Structure 1
Amino acid sequence: MMDMKKQIADGQGFVAALDQSGGSTPKALRGYGVEDSEWSGDDEMFAKIHEMRSRIITSPSFSNGKVIGAILFEKTMDGQVEGKPTPQALIDRGIVPFIKIDKGLEDEANGVQMMKPMPELDTLLARAKSLGVFGTKERSVINEANPEGIAAIVAQQFEVGRQVLAAGLVPMLEPEYNIKAEGRAEGEKILKAEILKNLESIDEQVMLKLSIPVEANLYADLIAHPKVLAVVALSGGYSTDEACAELAKNKGMIASFSRGLLQDLRAGQSDAEFDKTLGDAIDQIHAASVA
Protein backbone atom coordinates (compact mmCIF):
# COMPACT_ATOMS: atom_id res chain seq x y z
CA MET A 1 0.00 0.00 0.00
CA MET A 2 1.46 3.34 -1.07
CA ASP A 3 2.19 5.79 1.76
CA MET A 4 0.92 8.87 -0.07
CA LYS A 5 2.15 11.40 2.46
CA LYS A 6 5.65 9.93 2.50
CA GLN A 7 5.76 9.84 -1.31
CA ILE A 8 4.95 13.57 -1.56
CA ALA A 9 7.28 14.49 1.33
CA ASP A 10 10.22 12.61 -0.22
CA GLY A 11 9.64 14.58 -3.43
CA GLN A 12 11.63 12.31 -5.75
CA GLY A 13 9.58 13.31 -8.76
CA PHE A 14 6.91 15.81 -9.69
CA VAL A 15 3.15 16.38 -9.66
CA ALA A 16 1.38 16.37 -13.04
CA ALA A 17 -1.36 18.99 -13.44
CA LEU A 18 -4.21 17.43 -15.46
CA ASP A 19 -6.82 19.86 -14.19
CA GLN A 20 -7.68 22.30 -17.00
CA SER A 21 -11.34 23.15 -16.39
CA GLY A 22 -14.24 24.62 -18.37
CA GLY A 23 -12.70 27.87 -19.59
CA SER A 24 -9.31 26.46 -20.51
CA THR A 25 -10.51 23.12 -21.92
CA PRO A 26 -11.09 24.21 -25.57
CA LYS A 27 -7.61 25.76 -25.60
CA ALA A 28 -6.11 22.58 -24.14
CA LEU A 29 -7.92 20.48 -26.77
CA ARG A 30 -6.77 22.73 -29.63
CA GLY A 31 -3.20 22.42 -28.35
CA TYR A 32 -3.67 18.65 -28.42
CA GLY A 33 -4.84 18.81 -32.03
CA VAL A 34 -8.59 18.44 -31.45
CA GLU A 35 -10.43 21.21 -33.31
CA ASP A 36 -13.57 22.91 -31.98
CA SER A 37 -15.52 21.34 -34.87
CA GLU A 38 -14.84 17.85 -33.47
CA TRP A 39 -17.12 18.32 -30.48
CA SER A 40 -20.39 20.06 -29.68
CA GLY A 41 -21.48 21.13 -26.20
CA ASP A 42 -19.88 20.61 -22.82
CA ASP A 43 -20.51 16.86 -22.54
CA GLU A 44 -18.68 16.10 -25.79
CA MET A 45 -15.92 18.56 -24.90
CA PHE A 46 -15.34 16.92 -21.52
CA ALA A 47 -15.47 13.46 -23.12
CA LYS A 48 -12.67 14.54 -25.49
CA ILE A 49 -10.51 15.92 -22.69
CA HIS A 50 -11.16 12.76 -20.64
CA GLU A 51 -9.91 10.68 -23.58
CA MET A 52 -6.72 12.76 -23.58
CA ARG A 53 -6.23 12.41 -19.83
CA SER A 54 -6.94 8.66 -19.91
CA ARG A 55 -4.37 8.28 -22.66
CA ILE A 56 -1.81 10.13 -20.52
CA ILE A 57 -2.59 8.12 -17.36
CA THR A 58 -2.45 4.75 -19.18
CA SER A 59 0.70 5.62 -21.13
CA PRO A 60 3.59 3.42 -19.84
CA SER A 61 5.93 6.37 -19.26
CA PHE A 62 3.40 8.04 -16.91
CA SER A 63 3.87 5.32 -14.30
CA ASN A 64 7.67 5.03 -14.47
CA GLY A 65 8.02 6.43 -10.93
CA LYS A 66 8.93 9.97 -11.96
CA VAL A 67 5.37 11.32 -11.63
CA ILE A 68 4.57 11.12 -7.91
CA GLY A 69 1.19 12.85 -7.97
CA ALA A 70 -1.49 14.13 -10.36
CA ILE A 71 -4.06 16.91 -9.99
CA LEU A 72 -7.46 16.08 -11.48
CA PHE A 73 -10.40 18.20 -12.57
CA GLU A 74 -13.66 17.24 -10.80
CA LYS A 75 -15.15 15.57 -13.91
CA THR A 76 -11.94 13.57 -14.40
CA MET A 77 -12.08 12.42 -10.76
CA ASP A 78 -15.68 11.28 -11.28
CA GLY A 79 -14.80 9.50 -14.55
CA GLN A 80 -13.18 6.14 -15.13
CA VAL A 81 -9.90 4.94 -16.58
CA GLU A 82 -9.76 1.29 -17.70
CA GLY A 83 -13.01 0.63 -15.85
CA LYS A 84 -11.84 2.03 -12.49
CA PRO A 85 -12.49 5.41 -10.86
CA THR A 86 -9.68 7.72 -12.04
CA PRO A 87 -8.16 8.23 -8.54
CA GLN A 88 -7.90 4.43 -8.11
CA ALA A 89 -6.32 4.07 -11.57
CA LEU A 90 -3.66 6.58 -10.43
CA ILE A 91 -3.12 4.89 -7.06
CA ASP A 92 -2.67 1.53 -8.83
CA ARG A 93 0.14 3.18 -10.83
CA GLY A 94 1.83 4.54 -7.70
CA ILE A 95 0.60 8.12 -8.27
CA VAL A 96 -0.99 10.25 -5.53
CA PRO A 97 -4.35 11.78 -6.64
CA PHE A 98 -5.30 15.42 -5.99
CA ILE A 99 -8.45 17.33 -6.97
CA LYS A 100 -8.79 20.93 -8.12
CA ILE A 101 -11.51 22.49 -5.96
CA ASP A 102 -11.68 26.18 -6.84
CA LYS A 103 -14.52 27.53 -8.99
CA GLY A 104 -12.46 30.16 -10.81
CA LEU A 105 -11.44 33.73 -10.07
CA GLU A 106 -13.18 36.93 -9.00
CA ASP A 107 -12.49 40.16 -10.88
CA GLU A 108 -9.26 41.89 -9.90
CA ALA A 109 -9.24 44.11 -6.81
CA ASN A 110 -6.16 45.40 -4.93
CA GLY A 111 -3.97 43.84 -7.61
CA VAL A 112 -5.21 40.28 -6.96
CA GLN A 113 -7.92 37.89 -8.09
CA MET A 114 -9.48 36.04 -5.18
CA MET A 115 -11.24 32.68 -5.51
CA LYS A 116 -14.97 32.65 -6.17
CA PRO A 117 -17.18 31.21 -3.41
CA MET A 118 -17.35 27.39 -3.16
CA PRO A 119 -20.73 26.66 -1.56
CA GLU A 120 -20.61 22.92 -2.41
CA LEU A 121 -17.08 22.40 -1.12
CA ASP A 122 -17.86 20.10 1.82
CA THR A 123 -19.82 17.74 -0.45
CA LEU A 124 -17.00 17.68 -3.01
CA LEU A 125 -14.39 17.02 -0.31
CA ALA A 126 -16.41 14.11 1.10
CA ARG A 127 -16.79 12.60 -2.38
CA ALA A 128 -13.07 13.05 -3.11
CA LYS A 129 -12.12 11.42 0.21
CA SER A 130 -14.41 8.44 -0.54
CA LEU A 131 -12.65 7.94 -3.90
CA GLY A 132 -9.21 7.78 -2.26
CA VAL A 133 -8.07 11.31 -3.17
CA PHE A 134 -5.18 12.53 -0.98
CA GLY A 135 -5.27 16.30 -1.44
CA THR A 136 -6.78 19.34 -3.11
CA LYS A 137 -5.58 22.32 -5.11
CA GLU A 138 -7.02 25.84 -5.13
CA ARG A 139 -5.77 28.72 -7.28
CA SER A 140 -5.92 32.48 -6.97
CA VAL A 141 -3.72 35.04 -8.76
CA ILE A 142 -1.50 37.98 -7.75
CA ASN A 143 -0.96 40.65 -10.44
CA GLU A 144 0.86 43.36 -8.50
CA ALA A 145 2.94 43.89 -5.35
CA ASN A 146 0.00 45.22 -3.32
CA PRO A 147 0.52 44.27 0.37
CA GLU A 148 -3.19 44.51 1.20
CA GLY A 149 -4.19 42.37 -1.78
CA ILE A 150 -1.49 39.77 -1.12
CA ALA A 151 -2.46 39.54 2.57
CA ALA A 152 -6.12 38.99 1.58
CA ILE A 153 -5.31 36.33 -1.00
CA VAL A 154 -3.11 34.35 1.40
CA ALA A 155 -5.70 34.62 4.19
CA GLN A 156 -8.37 33.23 1.85
CA GLN A 157 -6.10 30.37 0.76
CA PHE A 158 -5.52 29.34 4.38
CA GLU A 159 -9.20 29.71 5.24
CA VAL A 160 -10.11 27.22 2.50
CA GLY A 161 -7.11 25.11 3.49
CA ARG A 162 -8.48 24.73 7.03
CA GLN A 163 -11.79 23.50 5.57
CA VAL A 164 -9.87 20.93 3.49
CA LEU A 165 -7.83 19.77 6.49
CA ALA A 166 -11.04 19.36 8.51
CA ALA A 167 -12.31 17.00 5.79
CA GLY A 168 -9.20 14.83 6.17
CA LEU A 169 -7.45 15.92 2.97
CA VAL A 170 -4.18 17.81 2.40
CA PRO A 171 -4.63 21.25 0.78
CA MET A 172 -2.26 22.52 -1.91
CA LEU A 173 -2.52 26.31 -1.60
CA GLU A 174 -1.86 28.10 -4.89
CA PRO A 175 -1.53 31.88 -4.68
CA GLU A 176 -0.05 32.11 -8.20
CA TYR A 177 2.15 35.14 -8.86
CA ASN A 178 1.67 36.28 -12.47
CA ILE A 179 5.17 35.85 -13.97
CA LYS A 180 4.62 38.89 -16.23
CA ALA A 181 3.71 41.19 -13.33
CA GLU A 182 5.90 44.23 -12.67
CA GLY A 183 7.65 44.32 -9.31
CA ARG A 184 7.37 40.55 -8.92
CA ALA A 185 10.64 40.17 -6.99
CA GLU A 186 9.38 42.57 -4.31
CA GLY A 187 5.87 41.10 -4.34
CA GLU A 188 7.16 37.57 -3.84
CA LYS A 189 8.92 38.67 -0.64
CA ILE A 190 5.58 40.05 0.63
CA LEU A 191 3.91 36.78 -0.37
CA LYS A 192 6.48 34.70 1.49
CA ALA A 193 6.11 36.80 4.65
CA GLU A 194 2.30 36.40 4.55
CA ILE A 195 2.56 32.64 4.06
CA LEU A 196 4.99 32.31 6.99
CA LYS A 197 2.63 34.35 9.17
CA ASN A 198 -0.39 32.22 8.25
CA LEU A 199 1.48 28.95 8.79
CA GLU A 200 1.51 29.85 12.49
CA SER A 201 -2.30 29.57 12.50
CA ILE A 202 -2.49 25.89 11.53
CA ASP A 203 -1.56 22.66 13.30
CA GLU A 204 -1.33 20.33 10.31
CA GLN A 205 0.77 20.28 7.16
CA VAL A 206 -0.22 21.96 3.91
CA MET A 207 1.37 22.01 0.47
CA LEU A 208 2.18 25.16 -1.49
CA LYS A 209 2.03 25.63 -5.27
CA LEU A 210 3.93 28.78 -6.19
CA SER A 211 5.32 30.49 -9.26
CA ILE A 212 9.06 29.89 -9.67
CA PRO A 213 10.51 32.92 -7.85
CA VAL A 214 12.58 35.66 -9.50
CA GLU A 215 15.19 35.24 -6.77
CA ALA A 216 16.44 31.64 -6.74
CA ASN A 217 15.81 29.77 -3.46
CA LEU A 218 13.62 32.59 -2.10
CA TYR A 219 11.26 29.92 -0.76
CA ALA A 220 13.93 27.80 0.97
CA ASP A 221 12.51 28.52 4.44
CA LEU A 222 9.00 27.54 3.26
CA ILE A 223 10.40 24.27 1.86
CA ALA A 224 12.10 23.59 5.21
CA HIS A 225 9.07 24.62 7.33
CA PRO A 226 7.67 21.80 9.51
CA LYS A 227 4.08 22.71 8.52
CA VAL A 228 4.84 22.47 4.79
CA LEU A 229 4.69 18.98 3.29
CA ALA A 230 6.05 20.11 -0.09
CA VAL A 231 6.45 23.18 -2.28
CA VAL A 232 5.59 22.61 -5.93
CA ALA A 233 6.08 25.01 -8.84
CA LEU A 234 3.68 25.97 -11.59
CA SER A 235 4.97 26.60 -15.10
CA GLY A 236 2.89 29.79 -15.30
CA GLY A 237 3.19 30.35 -19.04
CA TYR A 238 6.86 29.39 -19.39
CA SER A 239 7.71 26.83 -22.07
CA THR A 240 8.95 23.45 -20.80
CA ASP A 241 12.58 24.43 -21.41
CA GLU A 242 12.25 27.80 -19.63
CA ALA A 243 10.28 26.36 -16.71
CA CYS A 244 12.77 23.53 -16.19
CA ALA A 245 15.77 25.89 -16.38
CA GLU A 246 14.21 28.22 -13.78
CA LEU A 247 13.03 25.39 -11.53
CA ALA A 248 16.47 23.74 -11.46
CA LYS A 249 17.84 26.85 -9.71
CA ASN A 250 15.51 26.23 -6.72
CA LYS A 251 16.63 23.42 -4.42
CA GLY A 252 13.82 21.33 -2.97
CA MET A 253 11.06 22.85 -5.14
CA ILE A 254 9.44 20.29 -7.45
CA ALA A 255 7.36 20.79 -10.58
CA SER A 256 3.62 20.74 -10.92
CA PHE A 257 3.40 21.62 -14.60
CA SER A 258 0.42 21.47 -16.94
CA ARG A 259 1.43 23.18 -20.18
CA GLY A 260 5.06 22.25 -19.60
CA LEU A 261 4.06 18.58 -19.50
CA LEU A 262 1.46 18.47 -22.28
CA GLN A 263 2.66 21.00 -24.88
CA ASP A 264 4.01 18.46 -27.44
CA LEU A 265 1.29 15.78 -27.15
CA ARG A 266 -1.05 15.40 -30.15
CA ALA A 267 -4.20 13.37 -30.72
CA GLY A 268 -2.84 12.12 -34.05
CA GLN A 269 0.33 10.59 -32.61
CA SER A 270 0.60 6.79 -32.60
CA ASP A 271 0.64 5.25 -29.10
CA ALA A 272 4.41 4.74 -29.40
CA GLU A 273 4.99 8.37 -30.49
CA PHE A 274 2.66 9.64 -27.79
CA ASP A 275 4.42 7.65 -25.08
CA LYS A 276 7.88 8.73 -26.26
CA THR A 277 6.84 12.42 -26.37
CA LEU A 278 5.27 12.19 -22.92
CA GLY A 279 8.27 10.24 -21.59
CA ASP A 280 10.72 12.86 -22.87
CA ALA A 281 8.76 15.66 -21.14
CA ILE A 282 8.54 13.61 -17.93
CA ASP A 283 12.30 12.96 -17.97
CA GLN A 284 13.09 16.65 -18.47
CA ILE A 285 10.69 17.87 -15.76
CA HIS A 286 11.80 15.15 -13.34
CA ALA A 287 15.46 16.10 -13.82
CA ALA A 288 14.68 19.77 -13.02
CA SER A 289 12.63 18.73 -9.97
CA VAL A 290 15.33 16.59 -8.37
CA ALA A 291 18.25 18.80 -9.48
Structure 2
Amino acid sequence: MTIQSHQFREKLTYDQTDSVTIILTDLQKISETIIAAKAKQDNYNQKGTYYILGFIVAITLAMLLPNMFNISAVNIIINLLIISSIYLLCTSIYVFFKANEYKKLSKNNYRIQLTQQGLQMFARDMDIMTKVEVYLNLKNLEEKENKFSTVSHPYKPNWKIDNYQLRWLKIKGEFLDKTHFDLTATQLSKTQYGWKRSRSGKSKYKSKTKPLGLDIGVTLIYPQYRYGAVKILKEEINGALKLPYFAQLKALKLTDKAIRLVVRVSPEMVDKPGELYKTITMIFLSLYQVLNLAKILSKPIST
Protein backbone atom coordinates (compact mmCIF):
# COMPACT_ATOMS: atom_id res chain seq x y z
CA MET A 1 0.00 0.00 0.00
CA THR A 2 1.24 3.47 -0.86
CA ILE A 3 0.58 6.16 1.72
CA GLN A 4 -0.53 9.46 0.17
CA SER A 5 0.42 12.14 2.69
CA HIS A 6 -2.23 14.64 1.55
CA GLN A 7 -4.99 12.02 1.80
CA PHE A 8 -3.78 10.95 5.23
CA ARG A 9 -3.78 14.60 6.41
CA GLU A 10 -7.46 14.82 5.50
CA LYS A 11 -8.70 11.57 7.08
CA LEU A 12 -6.08 10.89 9.78
CA THR A 13 -7.03 7.21 9.70
CA TYR A 14 -5.28 4.05 8.50
CA ASP A 15 -7.26 0.89 7.77
CA GLN A 16 -5.48 -2.04 6.17
CA THR A 17 -5.30 -5.84 6.08
CA ASP A 18 -1.89 -7.13 5.06
CA SER A 19 1.30 -8.73 6.34
CA VAL A 20 2.98 -7.25 9.39
CA THR A 21 6.00 -6.27 7.30
CA ILE A 22 3.96 -4.21 4.84
CA ILE A 23 1.89 -2.54 7.56
CA LEU A 24 5.01 -1.62 9.53
CA THR A 25 6.41 -0.04 6.36
CA ASP A 26 3.20 1.98 5.98
CA LEU A 27 3.32 3.09 9.60
CA GLN A 28 6.92 4.20 9.20
CA LYS A 29 5.87 6.39 6.25
CA ILE A 30 3.04 7.84 8.32
CA SER A 31 5.45 8.54 11.17
CA GLU A 32 7.82 10.33 8.78
CA THR A 33 4.89 12.38 7.48
CA ILE A 34 4.02 13.42 11.02
CA ILE A 35 7.62 14.33 11.85
CA ALA A 36 7.76 16.48 8.70
CA ALA A 37 4.45 18.12 9.64
CA LYS A 38 5.77 18.90 13.14
CA ALA A 39 8.87 20.51 11.63
CA LYS A 40 6.72 22.65 9.32
CA GLN A 41 4.46 23.64 12.19
CA ASP A 42 7.44 24.71 14.30
CA ASN A 43 8.89 26.63 11.36
CA TYR A 44 5.66 28.51 10.71
CA ASN A 45 5.21 29.28 14.41
CA GLN A 46 8.75 30.66 14.59
CA LYS A 47 8.19 32.85 11.54
CA GLY A 48 4.88 34.04 12.96
CA THR A 49 6.57 35.05 16.21
CA TYR A 50 9.17 37.08 14.30
CA TYR A 51 6.45 38.81 12.27
CA ILE A 52 4.53 39.69 15.45
CA LEU A 53 7.70 41.14 17.01
CA GLY A 54 8.31 43.15 13.82
CA PHE A 55 4.74 44.43 13.95
CA ILE A 56 5.16 45.57 17.57
CA VAL A 57 8.43 47.35 16.78
CA ALA A 58 6.98 49.05 13.68
CA ILE A 59 3.80 50.28 15.36
CA THR A 60 5.77 51.46 18.42
CA LEU A 61 8.15 53.52 16.26
CA ALA A 62 5.22 54.94 14.32
CA MET A 63 3.74 56.20 17.60
CA LEU A 64 6.98 57.55 19.08
CA LEU A 65 8.57 59.31 16.10
CA PRO A 66 6.10 62.26 15.93
CA ASN A 67 7.03 63.17 19.51
CA MET A 68 10.76 62.93 18.83
CA PHE A 69 11.11 64.82 15.55
CA ASN A 70 9.22 67.62 13.85
CA ILE A 71 10.65 67.38 10.35
CA SER A 72 8.49 66.62 7.30
CA ALA A 73 10.52 63.51 6.40
CA VAL A 74 9.25 61.88 9.56
CA ASN A 75 5.74 61.69 8.05
CA ILE A 76 7.05 59.59 5.19
CA ILE A 77 8.83 57.26 7.61
CA ILE A 78 5.70 56.99 9.76
CA ASN A 79 3.59 56.10 6.72
CA LEU A 80 6.11 53.43 5.75
CA LEU A 81 6.08 52.04 9.28
CA ILE A 82 2.28 51.89 9.29
CA ILE A 83 2.26 50.07 5.95
CA SER A 84 4.96 47.72 7.22
CA SER A 85 3.06 47.02 10.43
CA ILE A 86 -0.10 46.15 8.47
CA TYR A 87 1.92 43.85 6.20
CA LEU A 88 3.62 42.15 9.17
CA LEU A 89 0.30 41.68 11.01
CA CYS A 90 -1.42 40.16 7.97
CA THR A 91 1.56 37.93 7.25
CA SER A 92 1.73 36.71 10.83
CA ILE A 93 -1.98 35.78 10.73
CA TYR A 94 -1.42 33.84 7.51
CA VAL A 95 1.66 32.07 8.90
CA PHE A 96 -0.10 31.04 12.13
CA PHE A 97 -3.03 29.80 10.03
CA LYS A 98 -0.61 27.62 8.02
CA ALA A 99 0.93 26.33 11.25
CA ASN A 100 -2.52 25.35 12.50
CA GLU A 101 -3.07 23.24 9.36
CA TYR A 102 -0.21 20.97 10.47
CA LYS A 103 -1.17 21.01 14.14
CA LYS A 104 -3.72 18.18 14.00
CA LEU A 105 -1.29 15.98 12.06
CA SER A 106 1.61 16.57 14.44
CA LYS A 107 -0.35 15.32 17.48
CA ASN A 108 -1.00 11.78 18.70
CA ASN A 109 2.20 10.30 17.29
CA TYR A 110 2.31 8.03 20.36
CA ARG A 111 -0.50 5.99 18.81
CA ILE A 112 1.71 5.09 15.86
CA GLN A 113 4.56 4.14 18.17
CA LEU A 114 2.30 1.85 20.19
CA THR A 115 0.92 0.21 17.04
CA GLN A 116 4.43 -0.43 15.75
CA GLN A 117 5.55 -1.93 19.07
CA GLY A 118 2.46 -4.11 19.28
CA LEU A 119 2.83 -5.46 15.75
CA GLN A 120 6.51 -6.24 16.32
CA MET A 121 5.57 -8.19 19.45
CA PHE A 122 2.78 -10.12 17.73
CA ALA A 123 4.96 -10.92 14.72
CA ARG A 124 7.28 -13.03 16.88
CA ASP A 125 4.46 -15.57 17.36
CA MET A 126 2.88 -15.37 13.91
CA ASP A 127 3.52 -16.95 10.53
CA ILE A 128 5.34 -14.46 8.34
CA MET A 129 2.64 -14.79 5.64
CA THR A 130 -0.29 -14.32 8.02
CA LYS A 131 -2.22 -11.12 7.44
CA VAL A 132 -3.35 -8.81 10.22
CA GLU A 133 -6.12 -6.24 10.29
CA VAL A 134 -5.04 -2.84 11.56
CA TYR A 135 -7.20 0.22 12.11
CA LEU A 136 -5.50 3.35 13.45
CA ASN A 137 -7.13 6.73 14.09
CA LEU A 138 -5.05 9.82 14.88
CA LYS A 139 -7.94 12.23 15.38
CA ASN A 140 -8.42 14.07 18.65
CA LEU A 141 -10.85 12.60 21.15
CA GLU A 142 -12.95 15.71 21.82
CA GLU A 143 -14.40 16.05 18.32
CA LYS A 144 -18.09 16.17 17.50
CA GLU A 145 -18.07 12.81 15.73
CA ASN A 146 -16.75 11.09 18.90
CA LYS A 147 -19.52 12.38 21.20
CA PHE A 148 -21.81 9.47 22.01
CA SER A 149 -24.14 11.03 24.60
CA THR A 150 -25.16 14.25 26.35
CA VAL A 151 -26.73 14.16 29.81
CA SER A 152 -27.82 16.69 32.39
CA HIS A 153 -25.37 17.47 35.18
CA PRO A 154 -26.38 15.55 38.33
CA TYR A 155 -26.16 18.53 40.70
CA LYS A 156 -25.56 21.71 38.63
CA PRO A 157 -28.82 23.15 37.23
CA ASN A 158 -28.81 23.92 33.49
CA TRP A 159 -25.42 22.26 33.02
CA LYS A 160 -24.72 19.49 30.53
CA ILE A 161 -22.13 16.73 30.24
CA ASP A 162 -20.88 15.50 26.87
CA ASN A 163 -19.36 12.01 26.85
CA TYR A 164 -16.69 11.20 24.29
CA GLN A 165 -15.34 7.86 23.13
CA LEU A 166 -12.78 7.08 20.43
CA ARG A 167 -11.56 3.62 19.53
CA TRP A 168 -8.31 4.66 17.89
CA LEU A 169 -6.66 1.25 17.61
CA LYS A 170 -7.80 -2.20 16.54
CA ILE A 171 -5.50 -5.09 15.63
CA LYS A 172 -6.77 -8.55 14.68
CA GLY A 173 -4.66 -11.54 13.77
CA GLU A 174 -3.80 -15.18 14.38
CA PHE A 175 -0.90 -16.69 16.32
CA LEU A 176 0.99 -19.83 15.38
CA ASP A 177 -1.09 -21.90 17.80
CA LYS A 178 -4.26 -20.96 15.84
CA THR A 179 -5.45 -18.60 18.58
CA HIS A 180 -7.15 -15.53 17.12
CA PHE A 181 -6.47 -12.27 18.94
CA ASP A 182 -8.24 -8.94 18.93
CA LEU A 183 -6.65 -5.87 20.56
CA THR A 184 -8.43 -2.53 20.91
CA ALA A 185 -7.61 0.83 22.52
CA THR A 186 -10.55 3.11 23.35
CA GLN A 187 -10.02 6.55 24.85
CA LEU A 188 -12.68 8.21 27.01
CA SER A 189 -13.42 11.67 28.39
CA LYS A 190 -16.29 13.90 29.47
CA THR A 191 -16.84 17.64 29.17
CA GLN A 192 -19.15 19.50 31.52
CA TYR A 193 -20.32 22.99 30.61
CA GLY A 194 -22.82 25.66 31.54
CA TRP A 195 -23.30 29.16 32.98
CA LYS A 196 -21.99 30.00 36.43
CA ARG A 197 -22.87 33.12 38.38
CA SER A 198 -19.94 34.82 40.11
CA ARG A 199 -20.06 36.62 43.47
CA SER A 200 -20.43 39.93 41.66
CA GLY A 201 -23.60 38.68 40.00
CA LYS A 202 -22.16 38.25 36.52
CA SER A 203 -22.79 35.05 34.59
CA LYS A 204 -19.84 33.35 32.93
CA TYR A 205 -19.80 30.36 30.61
CA LYS A 206 -17.62 27.57 32.00
CA SER A 207 -16.36 24.40 30.35
CA LYS A 208 -14.11 21.69 31.76
CA THR A 209 -12.91 18.47 30.17
CA LYS A 210 -11.98 15.50 32.32
CA PRO A 211 -10.02 12.60 30.77
CA LEU A 212 -11.24 9.21 31.96
CA GLY A 213 -8.40 7.07 30.70
CA LEU A 214 -7.91 4.39 28.09
CA ASP A 215 -9.68 1.03 27.86
CA ILE A 216 -7.45 -1.71 26.46
CA GLY A 217 -9.55 -4.64 25.27
CA VAL A 218 -8.13 -8.07 24.51
CA THR A 219 -10.01 -11.06 23.10
CA LEU A 220 -8.40 -14.46 22.59
CA ILE A 221 -10.41 -17.03 20.64
CA TYR A 222 -8.51 -20.26 21.24
CA PRO A 223 -8.78 -23.73 19.65
CA GLN A 224 -10.70 -25.95 22.02
CA TYR A 225 -8.75 -29.07 21.16
CA ARG A 226 -5.62 -27.36 22.48
CA TYR A 227 -6.88 -25.22 25.35
CA GLY A 228 -10.29 -26.71 26.12
CA ALA A 229 -9.55 -27.04 29.84
CA VAL A 230 -9.33 -23.28 30.26
CA LYS A 231 -12.99 -23.13 31.28
CA ILE A 232 -12.17 -24.89 34.55
CA LEU A 233 -9.49 -22.31 35.33
CA LYS A 234 -11.82 -19.35 35.69
CA GLU A 235 -10.76 -18.66 39.26
CA GLU A 236 -7.06 -18.86 38.31
CA ILE A 237 -7.33 -16.10 35.68
CA ASN A 238 -7.79 -13.31 38.22
CA GLY A 239 -4.76 -14.49 40.16
CA ALA A 240 -2.64 -14.92 37.04
CA LEU A 241 -3.45 -11.49 35.62
CA LYS A 242 -0.56 -9.15 36.43
CA LEU A 243 -0.98 -5.46 35.64
CA PRO A 244 1.10 -2.31 36.26
CA TYR A 245 0.05 -0.01 39.09
CA PHE A 246 -1.65 2.46 36.74
CA ALA A 247 -4.02 -0.14 35.22
CA GLN A 248 -6.92 -2.05 36.68
CA LEU A 249 -9.20 -4.82 35.45
CA LYS A 250 -12.57 -3.47 34.37
CA ALA A 251 -14.24 -6.55 32.84
CA LEU A 252 -13.46 -10.24 32.36
CA LYS A 253 -15.48 -12.89 30.55
CA LEU A 254 -14.59 -16.51 29.96
CA THR A 255 -16.50 -18.79 27.60
CA ASP A 256 -15.89 -22.23 26.11
CA LYS A 257 -14.22 -20.59 23.11
CA ALA A 258 -12.76 -17.26 24.20
CA ILE A 259 -11.32 -15.04 26.90
CA ARG A 260 -12.34 -11.39 26.83
CA LEU A 261 -11.12 -8.67 29.15
CA VAL A 262 -10.94 -4.89 29.41
CA VAL A 263 -8.28 -3.03 31.37
CA ARG A 264 -8.59 0.68 32.26
CA VAL A 265 -5.35 2.68 32.08
CA SER A 266 -5.22 5.89 34.13
CA PRO A 267 -5.47 9.23 32.22
CA GLU A 268 -1.89 10.34 32.91
CA MET A 269 -0.54 7.29 31.04
CA VAL A 270 -2.77 7.55 27.96
CA ASP A 271 -0.15 9.24 25.74
CA LYS A 272 2.87 7.24 26.94
CA PRO A 273 3.46 4.44 24.40
CA GLY A 274 6.07 2.71 26.57
CA GLU A 275 3.66 2.29 29.48
CA LEU A 276 0.80 1.25 27.22
CA TYR A 277 3.01 -1.35 25.52
CA LYS A 278 4.05 -2.63 28.95
CA THR A 279 0.39 -3.05 29.89
CA ILE A 280 -0.43 -4.93 26.69
CA THR A 281 2.59 -7.19 27.10
CA MET A 282 1.64 -8.06 30.67
CA ILE A 283 -1.94 -8.83 29.62
CA PHE A 284 -0.89 -11.29 26.91
CA LEU A 285 1.76 -12.93 29.07
CA SER A 286 -0.75 -13.39 31.88
CA LEU A 287 -3.42 -14.86 29.62
CA TYR A 288 -1.00 -17.24 27.98
CA GLN A 289 0.15 -18.40 31.38
CA VAL A 290 -3.42 -19.60 31.91
CA LEU A 291 -3.69 -21.05 28.39
CA ASN A 292 -0.45 -22.99 28.79
CA LEU A 293 -1.76 -24.51 32.02
CA ALA A 294 -4.99 -25.37 30.22
CA LYS A 295 -2.93 -26.99 27.45
CA ILE A 296 -1.31 -29.30 29.99
CA LEU A 297 -4.68 -30.18 31.53
CA SER A 298 -6.21 -30.75 28.09
CA LYS A 299 -3.76 -33.49 27.18
CA PRO A 300 -5.22 -37.01 27.45
CA ILE A 301 -3.87 -39.03 30.36
CA SER A 302 -1.83 -41.96 29.09
CA THR A 303 -2.48 -45.35 30.68
Fold agreement, TM-score > 0.5:
no
Q: TM-score, normalised by structure 2?
A: 0.24
RCO greater where, 1 or 2, for CA within 8 Å and sep 6 or more? Answer: 1
Q: TM-score, normalised by structure 1?
A: 0.25
Q: Which has the higher strand share?
A: 2
